[in-house]
Amino acid sequence: MDTRRRTRMNQGRRRRLSRWVRVLAALLTVIVAVLAYGYGETYWLQVKEYTFVHRDVPPAFNGLRIAFLSDIHRSPFFSQARVRSVVEQVNSLRPDLIVLGGDYVYLDTDYAASCFAELKNLEAPLGCYGVLGNHDYGKYTDGHHGPAEVIQAMAEAGITLLRDEAVWVERQGARIRLGGVSDYGVDRPSLARILESTAPHDFVILVSHQPDYAEEL
């Protein structure tokens, strides 16, 4: 084999190797970006305040403070101590009513017990209620799929699960309806029991983990 042919072959190998290096570098960049986003999102805690006014809200509920907390995603990336810190922050807001929006764990329902060991310390005179999120159903790949562990941990924490059902929240002789539906992504939500025994003028709060469910109403 002459020198020129050997040189061309070596150059071809280097070009192929360089191309594979670029591909692997691009894949690594994407993987790191995805992991960084997931890790950052886990620690992204925002507190926003909204004022809501509606003619159907009974005067007795004027000034009612509702704390809505969602997507805790208890996991190796969000420790029990972090959940405890969130609980302390929510309690510092002195809410009258607390509503939990689901996704208490990040797929692994083994973290449910430690999550609700902290959430049970949430304080509100009118109670604490919650719905399920898609992550609360666990993993699809290990044959361990379903929200049983999350439901049990929630019950042991004294938090009322609203799964296609509702409760009347009473204050100074007046009442409003608080309802929650199953996760729209993995279940079939139903409003039947939520709206039963309500009148057209009753004020109803509906909680869903999936905002897209509002488009179905």
Query: Per-residue pLDDT for 26 more than 70?
Result: no
Residue with tokens 């993987």: 31
Is the residue at 201 inside a domain?
Answer: yes
Is the residue at 51 inside a domain?
Answer: no
3-state secondary structure of 189: coil
**Residue 205 exposure: Cα atoms within 13 Å on the Cβ side:** 24
Q: How many CB atoms lie within 10 A of CB 185?
A: 13
pLDDT at residue 211, rounded to an integer = 84
pLDDT at residue 131, rounded to an integer = 96
- Indicate if 39 and 95 belong to the same structural domain: no
pLDDT at residue 185, rounded to an integer = 80
Average pLDDT over residues 143-156: 86
- Provide the percentage of residues in the chain whose pLDDT is more than 70: 76
Record the tokens describing residue 80, joined without a space. Answer: 């029990």
- Indicate if 171 and 208 belong to the same structural domain: yes
- Indicate if 92 and 135 belong to the same structural domain: yes
Q: Which of 123, 65, 72, 146 is nearest to 102 (CA)?
A: 72
Average pLDDT over residues 131-160: 85
Structural domain including 4 reads: 1-44
Domain total in the chain: 2
- Indicate if 185 and 95 belong to the same structural domain: yes
- Indicate if 86 and 140 belong to the same structural domain: yes
- Indicate if 122 and 177 belong to the same structural domain: yes
- Indicate if 30 and 67 belong to the same structural domain: no
Label the pairing between strands 160-161 and 128-130: parallel
Q: What is the pLDDT of residues 53-84, one digit of tens each?
A: 999 999 999 999 999 999 999 999 899 999 99
- Indicate if 115 and 20 belong to the same structural domain: no
Q: How confident is the model at residue 188 (pLDDT cuts 50, 70, 90)?
A: confident
Average pLDDT over residues 79-107: 94
pLDDT at residue 77, rounded to an integer = 87
- Indicate if 65 and 151 belong to the same structural domain: yes
- Indicate if 114 and 190 belong to the same structural domain: yes
- Indicate if 14 and 63 belong to the same structural domain: no
Is the residue at 211 inside a domain?
Answer: yes
Q: What is the pLDDT of residues 100-111, one digit of tens each?
A: 999 999 878 899
Contact residues for 135 (Cβ-Cβ < 8 A; gap 6+): 73, 102, 103, 104, 105, 106, 107
Residue that wins the pLDDT comparison between 147 and 8: 147
Average pLDDT over residues 24-31: 46
Is the residue at 52 inside a domain?
Answer: no
**CATH number, residue 147:** 3.60.21.10
pLDDT at residue 35, rounded to an integer = 41
Q: Are 110 and 140 in contact (CB under 8 A)?
A: no
Is the residue at 192 inside a domain?
Answer: yes
- Indicate if 39 and 65 belong to the same structural domain: no
Is the residue at 107 inside a domain?
Answer: yes
Is the residue at 116 inside a domain?
Answer: yes
Is the residue at 54 inside a domain?
Answer: no
